[in-house]
Amino acid sequence: MITYPLFINGELIETKEQNAILNPSTAEPFAQVSVAGEKEIENALGAARAAFDSGAWPKIPFSERKAFLLKIADGILEKAGELAQLETLNTGKPIKESTFMDIPSAAKAFQYIAENFEKFLVEDSPALEAQASAKLIREPFGVAALIVPWNYPLLIACWKLASSLAAGNCVVLKPSSLTPLSALELGKIIHTAGLPKGTVNIINGSGSKIGKALCSDKRVDIISFTGSNEVGKQIIEYASQNVKKLVMELGGKSANIICKDAPLDVAVNSSLCSIFLNQGQMCTGMSRILVESAIYDDFVSNFVEKTKRIKIGPGSEFETQIGPLVSRAQQRKVLGFVEDAKKQGGKVLCGGKIPQEANFKNGFFFEPTVIADLAPAAGILKEEIFGPVACISKFSSIEEAVTMANDSDFALAACIWAKDEAKAHTIAAKINAGTIWVNTYGMFYNELPYGGFKQSGFGKELGKEGFLEYARIKSVIMDHSPEGKPLVSYWYGF
């Protein structure tokens, strides 16, 4: 099996401790990965700190920084086929998703930031009173700890890396220990691109072993985390030991509102994508589908019939529409949610089980599932499942739909389906969520910020706003009083 090294201070490092990485489609190991211990964590933090304080990266001309970012983008595209296969082997997601969505989008994240970061960092000169002037200067924080989840390991790593590097920060990147391979492969691309030593360091290990050491260390100036609410709270606690900037995307429990004037087939087909893409392992997964009563029965029968036709299979097969979950633990977690829903009166309209066919018995598969007739207080409507489970509820008025959609501790995303665009925008204004799609789903644009409210976290990724999360702002004020004597110099009358 191939062994994947860490990337620290410009070198590929293999460690004595290594973990096997399983293929979720078969539960069999297919690679070994080096695991960072105390020494590697210290070396990575030390290298990033030294690279920022005395290295070249924060000081190089913007034109050179842009060229490096574009080299990384080109390296991703040159290895696109290999990276797609690796992402599918590691996560279980269908190869067509890795090939046509994840890898190209990862490269585009670097390309977009490379072409735009200079204008985002432009100095501003606000108008002040006649005797003073000011400049607002945007500069890097210093060392950025970037912590990436297992559902989109390469793509989200590239979101964070591109902005952090373009702003002039040096980085310690920690991918999920379940899915570290594409991030470590990205380390090889960065190594080939020739970034100064210590600018990017990529380490692997469980959050329980690495998290506290990484997030509480005073050499880290900013932490950007995408993951569960539970782990996010731990990171906030660690970070409080040495105050630092935080960007936190902590998941969601998103609502998909289907109005009676929505085109039924379009709404059904798109709603299938909004919850079953990537096996439902999406922070923006529309796990709560709210359907207006006039079309409820037609929607449900159509949605269930098409859900039953979704092809389950190994991620490596192009015919596969839904692959395995990422791990055995995640499979058991999803099954537990479904069993609890049944105990609370929910009716499973299809799916709800681990498939028993011989070719699925070893992998971490779970049938795409539809549940109806849940009471509003049911746990499965409140907690993030992160699996292929859609819960369908009925509403009678727009006001009721808005109330149901906002009845969540999370506020990451939502969908609205309505032919009447004015009505859709009226609903959108009342929904408490950071991203709202109208008559579409999942369209992420590098130009637009992404992030949530409430328990879904704070801060943004993507767009100018997301980029500027990685740049601190400094005010420089210059007095122009006659004879160089500002009012303050007379205050005490000496």
Domain boundaries, the chain: 2-250+456-476, 255-438
pLDDT in the model for residue 255: 98
Which CATH superfamily does the domain covering 255-438 fall into? Aldehyde Dehydrogenase; Chain A, domain 2 (3.40.309.10)
Q: What is the CA radius of gyration of the chain?
A: 24
C-beta atoms surrounding 133 within 10 Å = 15
Q: How far apart are CA 232 and CA 251, in angstroms?
A: 10
Q: Is 283 a catalytic residue?
A: yes
Task: Let me know the angle formed at the C-alpha of 406 by 417 and 391, rounded to the nearest 5 degrees.
Answer: 65
Is pTM beyond 0.75? Reply is: yes
Q: How far apart are CA 47 and CA 172, in angstroms?
A: 9
User: Hey, what are 348's tokens?
Assistant: 């499973």
Could you tell me which CATH number the domain at 2-250+456-476 has?
3.40.605.10
pLDDT in the model for residue 129: 85
CA dihedral of 276, 257, 282, 429, whole degrees rounded to 10: 160
Catalytic residue among 40, 87, 249, 367: 249
CB 203 within 8 A of CB 8: yes
Q: Is 170 a catalytic residue?
A: no
Note the residue count of the chain: 494
> What is the full per-residue pLDDT of the chain (494 aa) written as tens digits?
899 999 999 999 999 999 999 999 999 999 999 999 999 999 999 999 999 999 999 999 999 999 999 999 999 999 999 999 999 999 999 999 999 999 999 999 999 999 999 999 998 998 888 889 999 999 999 999 999 999 999 999 999 999 999 999 999 999 999 999 999 999 999 999 999 999 999 999 999 889 999 999 999 999 999 999 999 999 999 999 999 999 999 999 999 999 999 999 999 999 999 999 999 999 999 999 999 999 999 999 999 999 999 999 999 999 999 999 999 999 999 999 999 999 999 999 999 999 999 889 899 999 999 999 999 999 999 999 999 999 999 999 999 999 999 999 999 999 999 999 999 999 999 999 999 999 999 999 999 999 999 999 999 999 999 999 999 999 999 999 988 888 888 888 77
Task: Single out the residue of 347, 348, 366 nearest to residue 356, CA to CA.
Answer: 366
Q: Write out the H or E segment, with its range, that includes residue 134.
A: strand 132-140
pLDDT in the model for residue 484: 86
Catalytic residue among 215, 283, 391, 415: 283
Residue 401 carries which side chain, given as an amino acid letter?
A
Q: How far apart are CA 35 and CA 467, in angstroms?
A: 30
pLDDT in the model for residue 130: 83
pLDDT in the model for residue 493: 77
Task: Single out the residue of 273, 274, 267, 225 nearest to residue 250, CA to CA.
Answer: 225
CB 321 within 8 A of CB 329: no
